[in-house]
Structure 1
Amino acid sequence: MTSSDGDEIQSTLDYVEENVRFDDVSDIGSTSVKVCYRIREVSESEVNVIFATGAAGRDEEKIGKMITSDFPAVLKSLKNYIESSTFA
């Protein structure tokens, strides 16, 4: 992940349950951000992806807003990738 000012932010998968959910954690200074994705099958060819974020630390409010500001674009990109992939 890259911040709006171009700094690279490392994320680590914290939990993976195949086809059900995955969580990642990013440490930004003294603030830790966790993003949880839930995958829910709607039909054989359609799923919903639900995400939730949480931040804890000195700058949690500021960083939390920064992290979530581009989620619509991130999810659209993920959708396009999945729809164009051979495993879809």
Structure 2
Amino acid sequence: MGYRLYLPQARARATWRLVDLCRIIWERFGVRYDESGLGKLLHRLDLSWQTPWPRHAETDPAAQERFKKGLRGRPHANHSRRPRG
């Protein structure tokens, strides 16, 4: 579990643990925070604690994309069987 932050320079999302953020802030700015204090600060900055969805070890991203592409343009199954009128 960690804070999800958007990093414009990386153009990606990353998950950070409080302990990691405390270390990075110390290394870059020379300011020490404990995990509790940094968590409160991030909350005041309106950053939320989020848990990433778990992924199965054998997940195939290419197969997922093929599946998604195959569904585009098709009506939902429950919509196609509704009686009209």
TM-score using structure 1 length: 0.25
Q: Which has the higher helix share?
A: 2
Which fold has the larger relative contact order, with Cα–Cα distance below 8 Å and residues 6 or more apart in sequence?
A: 2
Structure 2 length-normalised TM: 0.26
